[in-house]
Structure 1
Amino acid sequence: MSFYEKVKSYKNFGFEEFLRNITEEKIRTILNKDYIDEKDFLCLLSPSASNCLEEMAQKAHEISIRNFGKSVVLYTPMYLANYCENKCIYCSYNAENHITRKKLTFEELEKEAKAIYDTGLRHIIILTGESRYHTPVSYIADCVKILKKYFSSICIEVYALEEEEYKELIEVGVDSLTIYQEVYNEEVYKKVHLAGPKKDYKYRLDAPERAARAGIHSLSVGALLGLDNWRREAFFSGLHVQYIQDKYPSVEVTMSIPRIRPHVGSFNGIIEVSDKEAVQILLAYKIFIQRAGINITTRERAEFRDNLIPLGVTKISAGVSTEVGGHSTEQKGGSQFDIADNRSVEEMKIAINNMGYNSVFKDWQRV
């Protein structure tokens, strides 16, 4: 069974009625369990659970310490290009938006790599817009060959690929994939992806599994919060992680809680997700999927990110630029979205250490 069939199995499920009938007593019963099932997980996303966040936080913290200790891996993104063929109404890279388009030359790429390497970071995520014409797999592979001289872990966040294409990139040095479904509600997905290759809902949904079959070491999946009802979206994000862990136990899986940030273009359909609601999602994730890591990006404010660390965060970005060439070049490409935490790698390291946690610059080496 593909994960698409799992999503479809909930098509006629009465989410609102189910959530409305959950009591605080039910939540506390769930929190006394060592492990919970998917319906328990949905209960932790209910309105009643929002009154039990302190108890949830204590349990999430205990689970995180038991499984991950007090270590937080630092990484930063490098944008290779921002050319895109899609018309996603929530993204600056939308093909109809008038932004400065750029693709790094290999010389510029190496300059970016050296600038990031000098900060001490050894984990990197490379990103592109969705344009096979401007950034074919061969270009991405050539970039990876250069970057592996500097970084022990290279993650890609690019357009959805075929299994053989994932294998090609893994062979040259990629070990991780981040690919967000953006929104699991198929009808909403059609409304926010107006044109381009990303419009194919099922092809994108199956991409993490293609990468897992290809031999990827770690995956990060989830929803972009703000496109649809956050409770349903968080629920399917959690189920997606569970599905991958159960079917591909050798793959490490990380989840995130990205919220829509200001961007070029206009999108009036944003469903606000408050800080309290974001915390509830994170806690529910950690209690449900105990072995999954949690990543917090610079979409979130500095103070908020710091406060989340004891609740189960295992990866966090630092020294971030969402511009193409943003770490070293003068002629930069337009950014994907505005960031909310501008701290340098050193500042992020100090913040993590001040909270009694260890900032990890390298925890993976390909052999």
Structure 2
Amino acid sequence: MSFSEVFEKYNWEDIKGKIYAKTSLDVERALSKSQRNLEDFMALISPAATPYLEQMAQLSHRLTQKRFGKTIQMYIPMYLSNECQNICAYCGFSLDNKIPRRTLTEEEILSEIAHIKAMGYDHILLVTGEANKTVGTEYFKKALKLIQPSFSHISLEVQPLDQHEYEELIPLGLNTVLVYQETYHENDYKKHHPKGKKSNFNYRLETPDRLGSAGVHKIGLGVLFGLEDWRADSFFTALHLQYLERKYWKTKYSISFPRLRPHAGGLTPKVEMTDRELVQLICAYRILNEEVELSLSTRESNKFRDNVIKLGITSMSAGSKTNPGGYANAPESLEQFEIDDQRSPAQIAEMLTRQGYEPVWKDWDRAYSS
């Protein structure tokens, strides 16, 4: 059974109604347990949990330190291309945005690598728009061959691929794939993705199944907060996570928390997610699942990132550029979205050290899976 078959058994409005109907008693029951289920998660992300935020934060802190200690994994995105054949209402790379398009050459990739390595990174996230003919599997193969010698951990955030394509990339150094559903609200998903391969809701929904079957070491999930009700979307992300953990139990998982940021095209968020609500969600995920990695990018502000370090986050980016060639080749080119925290990796590392945490630049080696 694939996740799309599981997903069909649930109704968005029913789930949303159940979340908003949760009471303080449901929240207290969830917090008192040693193990929680999805019903408990609904209580922890409900409006009824708002008065319990301090209690949730303390519990999330304890659970995170028990499993991960006082460490934060450092990573950086490297954008290879802004070519895209999709129309997405929220993205600066959308096909209908009249922007200069750029795909890095082999020489440009090498110069970006040199710049990133000078910052101390050993974990890199490769990102492109979704343009299969320009930046498809063959391009990824060439890029990975160039990048693999310099990094022990390579993640990919590109268009969904078929299972055999992931299988071809794993021997070249691919460790992790991030694939965000954007929203699990099927009708609104279609409104935000009217053209291109990404408009196929089910193909994207089943991508983590293909990743699990291919044997990718780690799968990253998430939605884009601002497109739909964040509570309902987060329930379906948690449902997806639990399904994957049971079926592909050898695989590791991570959750990211992107909130809609300014970009070319200027979509106004349908639903605003406050800082307190994002803190509530981070804590709820940790209380539900002690093993999942929780990642926070430079989309968020300096102050917010500094304050949530101790509440469940296990990985962060720093010094990020969201445009192809942004580190060494084309710092002036159009970004996918605006970042907020613009501090350097050294400044973030200093902040973490002040808080008693260790910034980890390398915690994985390909030899571990040999």
Name the CA distance, whole Å, in 2 between partners of 1:201 and 1:160.
Answer: 11
Which is worse superposed, 256-265 or 22-31? Answer: 22-31
**1:3 matched residue in structure 2:** 3
Aligned AA for 1:102? R
Q: Deviations over 1:107-153 (max 9, x none)?
A: 00000001001111100000110001111211111101111111000
TM-superposed CA distance for 1:100, in Å, is 1.8
Alpha carbons 1:257, 1:296 under 8 Å: kept = yes
Asked if the contact 2:26–2:40 (Cα under 8 Å) also holds between the matched residues in 1, the reply is no
Query: What residue is the counterpart of 2:151 in the other structure?
Result: 151
With the length of structure 2 as denominator, give the TM-score of the two structures. 0.97
CA contact (8 A) 1:242 1:289 kept: no
Cα drift, residue 302 of structure 1:
1.1
SS of equivalent residue, structure 2 residue 233: helix
Q: Give the distance between the partners of 2:19 and 2:47, measured in 1 at CA.
A: 7
Residues 109 and 345 of structure 1: CA distance in aligned 2, closer, same or farther (over 3 Å): same
1:158 & 1:330 partners in 2: Cα distance?
Answer: 20
Q: How does 1:244-255 map to 2 (within 5 A)?
A: 244-255=244-255
**Structure-2 separation of matches of 1:186 and 1:15:** 14
Q: Describe the shift of the 1:16–1:238 C-alpha distance in structure 2 as closer, same or farther (beyond 3 A).
A: closer
1:34 aligns with 2:34: yes
Tell me if structure 2 keeps the 8 A contact 1:88–1:193: yes
Residue pair 1:71, 1:314 contacting (<8 A) in 2 also: yes
* Counterpart residue number, 2:166: 166
The one-letter code of the counterpart of 1:67 is R
Residue pairs, 1:267-282, within 5 angstroms? 267-282=267-282
Structure 1 CA distance for aligned equivalents of residues 86 and 354 of structure 2: 42
Gaps of 5+ in 1: none
Distance in 2 of aligned mates of 1:72 and 1:110: 27
Distance 1:170 1:14 in 2: 40
Instruction: Tell me the residue number matched to 2:198.
Output: 198
Secondary structure, counterpart of 1:149 in structure 2: helix
Do the aligned partners of 1:255 and 1:292 also contact (CA within 8 Å) in 2? yes
- The structural deviation recorded for 1:6 is 2.4
**2 CA distance for matches of 1:84 and 1:196?**
9
Shift of 1:46: 0.8
The C-alpha deviation readout for 1:173-213, integer Å capped at 9, x for no partner, is 11110110000111110110010000001101111111111
After superposition, where does 1:287-302 map in structure 2 within 5 Å? 287-302=287-302
* Residue 135 of structure 1: aligned partner: 135
Measure the CA separation in 2 of the matches of 1:17 and 1:237: 17
Distance 1:139 1:335, change over 3 A: same
SS at match of 2:364: coil
Instruction: Give the letter aligned to residue 236 of structure 1.
Output: F
The corresponding residue for 1:265 is 265
CA–CA separation in structure 2 for the residues paired with 1:258 and 1:353:
25
> Match for 2:183: what amino acid?
V
Matched, 1:109 2:91: no
Q: Deviation string for 1:38-79 (max 9, x for gaps)?
A: 111111111110110011111111110111111100010000
Report the counterpart of residue 224 of structure 1 in structure 2: 224
SS at match of 1:175: strand
Closer, same or farther: CA 283–342 of 1 in aligned 2, 3 Å: same
Taking the aligned partners of 1:203 and 1:17, their CA distance within structure 2 comes to 27
What residue identity is the alignment partner of 2:111? K
Question: For each residue in 1:92-117, what CA deviation from the matched residue of structure 2 results, as whole angstroms up to 9, or x when unmatched?
Answer: 11101012210000000000001001
Structure 1 letter corresponding to 2:19: L
Point out where structure 2 has 5 or more consecutive residues left out of the alignment. Answer: none
Secondary structure (helix, strand or coil) at the match of 1:219 reads strand
- Paired position in structure 2 for 1:338: 338
TM-score by length of 1: 0.97
Q: CA deviation at 1:13?
A: 5.8
Counterpart of 2:229, as a letter, is N
Residue number in structure 2 paired with 1:66: 66
Which letter does structure 2 place at the counterpart of 1:359?
A: P
Pairing 1:51–2:51 present? yes
Matched, 1:125 2:125: yes
In 1, Cα distance between the equivalents of 2:354 and 2:100? 39
Quote the offset at 1:14 in angstroms: 2.5
How big is each residue's C-alpha offset from its partner over 1:227-266, in whole Å with a ceiling of 9 and x where there is no partner?
0011101111111111111111111100011100000013
Counterpart CA distance in 2 for 1:61 and 1:326 is: 35
Counterpart amino acid of residue 74 in structure 1: M
Q: Which amino acid aligns with 1:285?
A: Y
Say if 1:57 and 1:283, in contact at 8 Å, map to a contact too: yes
Residue 356 of structure 1 corresponds to: 356
Deviation at 1:23, TM superposition (A): 2.0
Percent identity between the aligned chains? 38
Structure 1: which 4+ aligned runs deviate by more than 6 Å? Answer: none
Partner of 2:321: 321
| Corresponding residue number in structure 2 for 1:180 | 180
In structure 2, the CA distance between the partners of 1:284 and 1:331, relative to structure 1 (3 Å rule), is closer
Secondary structure of the corresponding residue to residue 304 of structure 2: helix
CA offset at residue 20 of structure 1? 3.8
Q: What is the Cα deviation at residue 226 of structure 1?
A: 0.7
**C-alpha contact (below 8 Å) 2:88/2:193 kept by paired residues:** yes
**Cα offsets for 1:248-304 (capped at 9, x unmatched):** 111110001110000001323531111011111111111112110100001100110
Q: Secondary structure at the match of 2:366?
A: coil
